[in-house]
Chain A
Amino acid sequence: MTSFLQQLFNGLVSGSFYALLALGLAVIFGMLRVVNFAHGALYMLGAFGAVVLGDSAGLGFWWALLLVPAALAVAGMAMERLLVQRLTALDPLYNFLLTFGIALVCQDLLRMKYGSHSQPYDHAPFSGTVDLGLFDYPAYQVFVLAVSVAVCVAVWLLLTRTRIGTVVRASTERPELTRAFGIDTRRWVTPVFGFGVALAGLAGVLAAPMRAVNSDMGADLIITVFAVVVIGGLGSVFGSVIAGFAIGMLQALGNLYVPVLSQTSVYLLMAVVLLVRPAGLFGKEEHA
């Protein structure tokens, strides 16, 4: 029983990363109809950002948590303005290629500079364990889970309780119609893209103290995250977050009971979901 719960908790912690990344992808897809293939690379840049800030500027974890997502948000907005925006009128394939290309360039640049082995990060904000009642659990992992849940809830409140949130949800559901109601949706596109990228950066910083920081870390993770987004429903913020945590737990339990299936379980689930509900668990059929 304890090992079951412990494994469930491990799942929630990896789900924390899936949820943050899927959330960013969902927000971006909703507003821009662009699947950001560079999302994994931006997560990796977030982790490297934390390492570089620590090593060369002597700025610790908390600084990284603040500065790296902000810097990546700016980079993301520049990327949207200078590149993505030029292609949105064309076939979506062009932005697939563009963002995929950006991901490859980022990965290779870091591989040239750091090689492919992992970089140590020794600015972990705290070590030790906390007593969760039935078992002790690493304090940092509990912190990651708490931050992820808090960020997801905050984004949810932002989307459902504020004017900006209403505009973003309206633009997500019916982009063309929203323009006909007097809202310049393009004005919101760049900030929303930057915000989604910042979430990837935040996930990257959170990963630095507990995961291997190397040029492949994003590519390894993002494939699962795409499956998460498809299962939750493309563009569904709620679905992405729920699916993120659920799939984290599914993988962890798979590890415990059916180790052979732990990696494939996500894709099996994705196949089943696509057969039964092609728009994903919480997705809606696209309007014209």
Chain B
Amino acid sequence: MLEVEGVSARYGEATALDGASLTVGEGEVVTLVGRNGAGKTTLLRCLMGLHRPAAGRIVLAGRDITGLAAHRRARLGLGYVPDDRGIYAGLSVEENLTLPPVAAGSAWPLARVYEAFPVLAARRRFPGGRLSGGEQQMLALARVLRAGARVLLCDEPTEGLAPVAVRQIGEILRGAKEHGVSVLLVEQNLRFATTVADRHYLLAQGRVVEALDNRDVKQREDELLAHLGL
């Protein structure tokens, strides 16, 4: 569904990505782990079209999107959940939800979103800035699902959330996967990662250095946590 080949990116003189490659299959949840500064957020930004890669190729559903503008990528089914959740504080919950134009036939009707997320239905007229962290994260995910995203790019959706909210996020991601949605998930919480993901990539100094399955992650948890500096 998503193929990333040798993507490099720089901020001025600093190299953030140095030829990162990975793939995400249809209906697959894949996490990207790595310590701070490894290039995880930059990779998602390159995939979304918000940062121009210096080299490499990005293919979405068989189509090369490397040079495509961000808004066109969104319309092809890329759904972005940025690390700060990307909630518009000045827009109501419903405006936040309905802002992205519907990209594909798999889009959720608003009624279904509200059925799946009763909290959002109850707060639909609230400004997005007044939601709790967990509610904002739910809104961020609901927003891209409503738009019909086929591949979600989620940047640390569980960061700073209470355990209840983390469980809810897990359920949402598993539910999306059941509907054939692919997810590339930046995640530092390895326990959580193994409950939602099929595979994992370890990113270090801008490169994918290892591909791991759930068993690897569980067996080498201590070693990985030490590497991540957690």
Given contacts A174-B86, A176-B50, contact A181 B100 (CB under 8 A): yes
* CB-based contact B91/A181 at 8 Å: no
Binding site for A on B (CB under 8 A): 48-50, 69-71, 73-75, 80, 82, 84, 86, 88-91, 95, 98-101, 103, 143, 147
User: Which segment of A16-24, A34-42, A162-170 sits at the interface?
Assistant: A162-170
Given contacts A176-B50, A180-B48, A182-B147, contact A170 B99 (CB under 8 A): yes
> A interface, by DSSP: helix, strand, loop or mixed?
helix
Per-residue contact bits, chain A 176-220, to B (CB 8 Å; 1 contact, 0 not): 111111111100000000000000000000000000000000000
B148's closest neighbor in chain A, by CB? A182
Binding site for B on A (CB under 8 A): 166-167, 169-170, 173-174, 176-185, 284, 287
Q: How many A-B residue pairs have CB under 8 A?
A: 66
* CB-based contact B88/A173 at 8 Å: yes
> B interface, by DSSP: helix, strand, loop or mixed?
loop
* CB-based contact B99/A180 at 8 Å: no
* CB-based contact A166/B71 at 8 Å: no
* CB-based contact A179/B70 at 8 Å: yes
A184's closest neighbor in chain B, by CB? B71
* CB-based contact B70/A180 at 8 Å: yes
* CB-based contact B88/A182 at 8 Å: no
Quick one: which of B49, B74, B82, B88 has the most chain A CB within 10 A?
B88
Q: Could you write out 11 A-B pairs with CB less than 8 Å apart?
A: A167-B99, A170-B88, A170-B91, A170-B99, A177-B80, A180-B73, A181-B71, A182-B103, A182-B147, A284-B90, A287-B84
Residues from chain B with a CB closer than 8 A to the CB of A181 are 71, 74, 80, 99-100, 143, 147
* CB-based contact B90/A169 at 8 Å: yes
Given contacts A166-B99, A167-B99, A170-B99, contact A179 B91 (CB under 8 A): no
Query: Which of A174, A177, A183, A284 touches B101 (beta carbons < 8 Å)?
Result: A183
A48–B89 CA distance with the chains assembled, in angstroms: 41
Residues from chain A with a CB closer than 8 A to the CB of B84 are 287
Residues from chain A with a CB closer than 8 A to the CB of B88 are 169-170, 173-174
How far does the Cβ of A146 sit from chain B's closest Cβ, in whole Å?
28
Given contacts A166-B91, A169-B91, contact A179 B69 (CB under 8 A): yes
Query: Which of B74, B91, B98 touches A180 (beta carbons < 8 Å)?
Result: B74
Query: Which of B82, B90, B95, B100 touches A182 (beta carbons < 8 Å)?
Result: B100
Closest 7 A/B residue pairs (Cβ): A182-B74, A181-B100, A179-B70, A180-B80, A184-B71, A182-B75, A179-B71
* 9 extra interface residue pairs, beta carbon distance < 8 Å, beyond A176-B70, A177-B80: A170-B88, A170-B99, A176-B50, A179-B49, A179-B50, A180-B73, A182-B101, A183-B99, A184-B69
A185–B50 CA distance with the chains assembled, in angstroms: 13
* CB-based contact A180/B49 at 8 Å: yes
Given contacts A166-B99, A170-B99, A177-B82, contact A182 B89 (CB under 8 A): no
A184–B100 CA distance with the chains assembled, in angstroms: 11
A207–B95 CA distance with the chains assembled, in angstroms: 38
Residues from chain B with a CB closer than 8 A to the CB of A185 are 71
* CB-based contact B89/A173 at 8 Å: yes
Residues from chain B with a CB closer than 8 A to the CB of A169 are 88, 90-91, 95
Residues from chain A with a CB closer than 8 A to the CB of B90 are 169, 173, 284
A176–B52 CA distance with the chains assembled, in angstroms: 13
Residues from chain B with a CB closer than 8 A to the CB of A284 are 89-90
Residues from chain A with a CB closer than 8 A to the CB of B98 are 166
Residues from chain B with a CB closer than 8 A to the CB of A174 are 86, 88
B95's closest neighbor in chain A, by CB? A166
How far does the Cβ of B139 sit from chain A's closest Cβ, in whole Å?
13
A181–B90 CA distance with the chains assembled, in angstroms: 16
Residues from chain B with a CB closer than 8 A to the CB of A179 are 49-50, 69-71, 74
Residues from chain B with a CB closer than 8 A to the CB of A170 are 88, 91, 95, 99
A287–B128 CA distance with the chains assembled, in angstroms: 15
How far does the Cβ of B109 sit from chain A's closest Cβ, in whole Å?
17
